[in-house]
């Protein structure tokens, strides 16, 4: 049974990519804790499904949104300001993965990965900052990836975008901590979601199948419980995954040269 965290009661939390997978699991966990949620994703009918499954559905606002559309983000922020009045947490969860060798990946696919996994995230965050800072601070959460710490085969641009997001988050934390803004980055390993099915191949098409490692990984619900527990402890650097992913993240900080040797010999696809 999940632990109820009373400190989240009535907190206003915006989750992107909330129509399934990790985003949906975070929504379930946070709603059970009494948070008021703003759920965004491109598929309105899936957002409706998620909201209907939550504790006190009427408390939660859904805003269909393509995070790569800057004007749509501006409209969403204005709607939140008007209908909700403020924002305590922003969880940047939306994203897309990759399953292609560098030599097989087109530049248009490279750009799409960065557009979704980096530029859209920082644009949305920047536009949401006035709401977060209005009451003396808030929390911004970025869902990066262990791939953004280690870099692996078949995920060149994805790893690079997630690494860029991590370092932008570090700068944001340094610049705005004195205004009360907390910034956390979560680095998931393999989680059993549809992420590999939707991952881009070299020509930009979806892979359409689940990786073996994904199929046997922790559930999104298990991930969400661990993530929220760490966030409530005010952790800023959060690695969540199996032993191999956690070990890889640790070695990346201790001995990059050793990590490079391990990655060269690893099977990741």
Going by DSSP bridges, is the β-strand pair 89-92/61-64 parallel, antiparallel, or unpaired? unpaired
Question: What is the model's pLDDT at position 265?
Answer: 86
Neighbours of 142 (CB within 10 A): 24
Question: What is the model's pLDDT at position 141?
Answer: 98
User: Is-contact 172 183, C-beta < 8 A?
Assistant: yes
* Residues of the chain under the 70 pLDDT cut: 1-6
- Is there a catalytic annotation at residue 158? yes
Question: What is the model's pLDDT at position 137?
Answer: 84
Question: What is the model's pLDDT at position 182?
Answer: 98
Task: List the catalytic residue out of 118, 154, 158, 237.
Answer: 158
* Tokens of residue 31, six digits: 């709603």
Question: What is the model's pLDDT at position 157?
Answer: 98
Angle in degrees, CA 215, 218, 224, rounded to 5: 130
Does the domain made of 6-264 have the CATH classification 3.40.50.720?
A: yes
Question: What is the model's pLDDT at position 243?
Answer: 87
Question: What is the model's pLDDT at position 255?
Answer: 93
Q: Give the whole-angstrom CA distance, residue 253 versus residue 200.
A: 29
Question: What is the model's pLDDT at position 1?
Answer: 45
Question: What is the model's pLDDT at position 33?
Answer: 96
């Amino acid at each position: 049974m999940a632990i109820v965290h009373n400190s989240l009661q009535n907190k206003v939390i915006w989750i992107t990519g909330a129509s399934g997978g990790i985003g949906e699991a975070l929504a379930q966990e946070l709603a059970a804790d009494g948070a008021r949620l703003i759920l965004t994703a491109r598929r309105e009918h899936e957002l409706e499904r998620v909201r209907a499954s939550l504790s006190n559905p009427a408390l939660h606002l859904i805003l269909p949104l393509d995070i790569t559309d800057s004007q749509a983000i501006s409209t969403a922020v204005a709607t939140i300001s008007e209908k909700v009045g403020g924002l305590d947490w922003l969880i940047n969860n939306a994203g897309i993965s990759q399953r292609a060798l560098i030599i097989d990946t087109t530049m248009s696919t490279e750009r799409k990965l960065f557009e979704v996994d980096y530029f859209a995230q920082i644009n949305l965050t920047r536009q949401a900052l006035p709401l977060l800072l209005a009451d003396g601070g808030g929390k911004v959460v970025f869902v990066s990836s262990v791939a953004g710490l280690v870099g692996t085969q078949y995920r060149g641009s994805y790893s690079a975008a997630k690494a860029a997001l991590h370092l932008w988050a570090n700068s944001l934390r340094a610049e705005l901590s004195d205004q009360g803004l907390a910034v956390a980055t979560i680095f998931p390993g393999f989680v059993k979601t549809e992420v590999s099915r939707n991952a881009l191949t070299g020509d930009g098409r979806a892979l359409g199948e689940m990786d073996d490692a994904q199929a046997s990984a922790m559930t999104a619900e298990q991930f969400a419980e661990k993530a929220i527990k760490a966030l409530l402890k005010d952790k800023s650097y959060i690695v969540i995954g199996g032993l191999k992913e956690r070990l890889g993240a640790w070695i990346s900080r201790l001995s990059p040269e050793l990590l490079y040797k391990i990655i060269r010999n690893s099977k990741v696809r």
